[in-house]
Amino acid sequence: MSVSKSICNARSDDALEQAMSSVASAISDASRVSILCALMDGRAWTATELSAVAGITASTTSGHLARLLNNGLIRCLSQGRHRYYSLAGPQIAGLLENLMSVSMSPPTPPASRTPQHLRYARTCYDHLAGELAVEIYQLMQQEQWLEADGSMLTAAGKSRLQSLGCALDPRPRRRACCPCLDWSERRFHLGGDAGAALMTLFLQKAWIERIQGYREVKVTSSGKIALRRHFHLNVC
């Protein structure tokens, strides 16, 4: 390897390390973490709403949002006089979920640290998370709807999801399917385009409904029947 190429690689490594440090620094503030966690429900929030969630002033919120925007963690959409903020993408939600998992102290059981209503069913950006999502993922593995590493749907898996009414994108701009580590269960649930399509289906068929204000979702009466029928799950 030439000296010039070695120097170039070293500079590239330095740039990556600096970028990683900048992202880590952006997440290091508790108020910014509160904002990011609120945005993990997959919806867009106004600065006023995020200010209330984080318990900080509007001017302070503005500074935090600018920091998160500059580091590519969130995006902003303007509609008329209003500006709405959301996570920059599912990869950011995955990063936050993994950080939650790492941050929970090992000696303490997850159940004692996570409210039961959030532990059972919640959103992880645009897909389902919690005990329910983990159970669905396990069934998909057992029924071989997924490849062994969870990176792709099998032909049978695509057929089954489409028969339920899932609108799978044949050319997704993101990963078609991936395992996403669930921070409360410490096991995987379904992420990627397939995970988003499945949650969209559940919402469209009213098998689940969002609980206003945070990430919790509730399984409806028709949802309990559907989960028993299609996924062999008994929901109390």
Sequence letter at residue 16? L
Q: pLDDT value at position 108?
A: 46
Mean pLDDT of the chain: 85
Provide mean pLDDT across the span 28-35.
92
**For residue 136, how many other CB atoms are within 10 A of its CB?**
22
The pLDDT tens digits of the residues spanning 55-90 come to 999 999 999 999 999 999 999 988 778 889 999 888
* pTM, two decimal places: 0.63
pLDDT of 105 > 70? The answer is no
User: Do 208 and 222 meet the contact criterion of CB atoms below 8 Å apart?
Assistant: no
> In whole angstroms, what is the distance from residue 198 CA to residue 180 CA?
14
Provide mean pLDDT across the span 7-24.
75
Across 33-42, 113-122, 157-166, the highest mean pLDDT is recorded for 157-166
Q: How confident is the model at residue 37 (pLDDT cuts 50, 70, 90)?
A: confident
Q: What percent of the chain has pLDDT over 70?
A: 87
- Print the SS3 string covering the chain: CCHHHHHHHHHHHHHHHHHHHHHHHHHCCHHHHHHHHHHCCCCCEEHHHHHHHHCCCHHHHHHHHHHHHHCCCEEEEEECCEEEEEECCHHHHHHHHHHHHHHCCCCCCHHHHCCHHHHHCEEECCEEECHHHHHHHHHHHHCCCECCCCCCECHHHHHHHHHHCCCCCCCCCCCCCEEEECCCCCCEEEEHHHHHHHHHHHHHCCCEEECCCCCEEEECHHHHHHHHHHHCCCCC
In this structure, which topology does domain 3-87 adopt according to CATH?
Answer: Arc Repressor Mutant, subunit A (1.10.10)
CA 99 remoteness from chain centre: 12
Sequence letter at residue 182? D
Lowest mean pLDDT among 1-10, 92-101, 131-140: 1-10
User: Do 168 and 194 meet the contact criterion of CB atoms below 8 Å apart?
Assistant: yes
Q: pLDDT value at position 7?
A: 46
**For residue 39, how many other CB atoms are within 10 A of its CB?**
26
Closest CA to 40 of 224, 182, 206: 182
The pLDDT tens digits of the residues spanning 155-206 come to 999 999 999 999 999 888 888 898 888 878 878 899 999 999 999 999 999 9
In the chain, residues under CATH classification 1.10.10.10 are: 3-87
Higher pLDDT, 119 or 226: 226
> In whole angstroms, what is the distance from residue 189 CA to residue 126 CA?
12
